[in-house]
Structure 1
């Protein structure tokens, strides 16, 4: 669902029709992205609206080679909005290691899960775990980048990811009665 470069050029001049077209084409995608980070629809909607305000305000400064680079730029704005809100609310916290126990293996369980099922489980993770999991697994950030963006150490990023995986394994086991290991 790529947007035309002509629309991007119109967006740069604050054209309301272009703004509406961009909103209509990308609001669902950007909302889903925000919801993965924020964990609930209301907070995700707030972050999406804030992101669109930044997108419309900053579009004139952007130099986009193609529609894909424009989409990536918008997604980065959403992620940054979410991370700022998470930092503002101090919701990045460690949970005791006992919360996520190490489980045995059965790799076929992940094949049985639908994409939406996994996203629902990720949304239920504590904010710190969810944030690092999203950044590392879903967005492809390195632990070094995550540490810099969140103001934490690389070790904390790695620990949060490990705990997130363990907690997800536990949730999957509780729901499906089978144990699994994430391979990332």
Structure 2
């Protein structure tokens, strides 16, 4: 079924594009919500990602799984949005020697996914982006630094501060 939808997308068939959109919308939103300030911004980033998918569908290798290809486009689109908004951001300077780990003892098992996403969205865009790329996506600080055009130290500092801010939000809201 997915193969047929993708064939239709390659032929620019609106119905196939709509089916693909509906099939992967929830998955894409689960990614963009982690990077965005709000649900509206997440939806806008996801729509941009789908446009890129439709524009570049011919470059998709049908011998590979579609989901990782789609995920990469969504993440890259979120990073592109970060770069567009970067002029508004004030990136922090690296802190030497600070390694504030997010300890498991502060994690509350009763927290819902929506509550967690809400707290991540409260982080500054710089902190939120580094946190998502490192903790959720599994990138190394060197890779993050290259993607975001920041130093490795700034990446580490932003991650540390994101964790500290999340810990404070957890303590304030759930302890």
TM range (shorter): 0.7 to 0.9
Picking from 78, 83, 99, the partner of 2:79 is 83
**Structure 1 residues 36-45 or 145-154, which shifts more?**
36-45
Is the contact made by 2:101 and 2:160 (CA closer than 8 Å) also made in structure 1? Answer: no
Distance, in Å, in 1 between the alignment partners of 2:94 and 2:142 is: 23
Aligned residue number for residue 135 of structure 1: 133
**Structure 1 residues 71-80 or 4-13, which shifts more?**
4-13
Is the contact made by 2:35 and 2:129 (CA closer than 8 Å) also made in structure 1? Answer: yes
Distance, in Å, in 1 between the alignment partners of 2:8 and 2:60 is: 12
Structure 2 runs not aligned, ≥5 long: none
Shift of 1:116: 2.2
Distance, in Å, in 1 between the alignment partners of 2:136 and 2:20 is: 23
Shift of 1:164: 0.5
Is the contact made by 2:102 and 2:167 (CA closer than 8 Å) also made in structure 1? Answer: no
TM-score by length of structure 2 reads 0.85
Distance, in Å, in 1 between the alignment partners of 2:82 and 2:139 is: 17
Distance, in Å, in 2 between the alignment partners of 1:124 and 1:146 is: 21
Shift of 1:13: 2.3
Name the Cα RMSD after superposition: 2.4
Look up the SS of the partner of 1:113 in the other structure: coil
Does residue 70 (structure 1) correspond to residue 71 (structure 2)? The answer is no
Say if 1:108 and 1:157 are closer, same or farther in 2 by CA, change over 3 A.
closer
Look up the SS of the partner of 1:111 in the other structure: coil
Is the contact made by 1:92 and 1:127 (CA closer than 8 Å) also made in structure 2? Answer: no
Segments ≥4 residues shifted beyond 6 Å: 102-106
Aligned residue number for residue 180 of structure 1: none
Structure 1 runs not aligned, ≥5 long: 178-184
